[in-house]
Amino acid sequence: MNEKTKSENNLHPLTADMWLHSLPIKSGWSLHLHPVFSGRHISAYIIGNFLSLSAINMENIKLRQFEEKDKKATYNLHLEGLKQTESFIDDPKAREQLDQDLKRIREEYIDSDGEFFVAIIDDKVVGMGALRKVDDASAEIKRMRVKPDFQGKGIGALILDRLIEKAKELGYKKLLLDTSIKQIVAQRLYESRGFKECKRGEIYGQETIYYQRDI
């Protein structure tokens, strides 16, 4: 850890608050402070760009490939994320159709020229994200989720960056993804990584934004 990081991490809560408000915030950004001060820890998130001063030591996060023992945890995390952003479609037939891939993760992703990562803290799944093949040149980012208690700490960015790296390793040239119009934080993360909106549509009545980027 360099001296700057040490200094930031040891700020007194009041000093930390003053320090965060002294950051150069551009017009159109809004600063959201999280009251999670605990000793030396602070968290902040700037919507429109990405700033994470996390209460979690990133070294404690293990990012690994999905295993069958993760199936229940990943599905529950998926539903939790939808409900948190009011994107949950409460229709059994629709859910069956929309969630088929999560019942066959290895077949749909890992064994089909894709990937599925889970983020682990203390042996618990706190985040996930997947890469699914579209054709020989393109793949799509899928199932990006982080548990509410761990959001705003850089875990989503960690997963997304690793998926982009994996896509390059697999030889893909373009990445696609979609997200609900209600998932504002996800939109900002994708845009911060170079994804551009290419169209809008509807999935079971929910307005959806489609993104793409070359890699």
Q: Is residue 203 part of a domain?
A: no
Cα 79 to Cα 88: distance, rounded to the nearest angstrom: 7
Residue 210 pLDDT exceeds 60: yes
| Claim to verify: residue 36 and residue 92 sit in the same structural domain | no
Contact present, 11 and 40 (Cβ < 8 Å):
yes
Cα 211 to Cα 198: distance, rounded to the nearest angstrom: 5
Number of domains in the chain: 2
- What average pLDDT is seen over the chain? 78
| Claim to verify: residue 30 and residue 67 sit in the same structural domain | no
Burial 90-117 (b: 16+ CB within 10 A, else e): eeeeeeeeeeeebeebeebbbeeebbbb
Q: Is residue 180 part of a domain?
A: no
| Alpha-helical segments (H) within 39-154 | 71-84, 92-98, 105
Domain hosting residue 12, numbered range: 3-47
| Claim to verify: residue 80 and residue 169 sit in the same structural domain | yes
Calculate mean pLDDT across residues 161-190. Answer: 96
Q: Model confidence over 129-159: pLDDT tens digits?
A: 999 999 999 999 999 999 999 998 999 999 9
Output the domain CATH number for residue 153.
3.40.630.30
| Claim to verify: residue 141 and residue 112 sit in the same structural domain | yes
Q: Model confidence over 38-97: pLDDT tens digits?
A: 333 333 333 333 333 344 666 689 999 999 999 999 999 998 888 787 667 666 777 777
| Claim to verify: residue 120 and residue 71 sit in the same structural domain | yes
Last residue of a domain, which of 140, 157, 173? 173
Could you list the beta-strand ranges (E) of the chain.
30-38, 41-47, 62-65, 115-121, 124-133, 138-146, 174-180, 196-203, 206-214
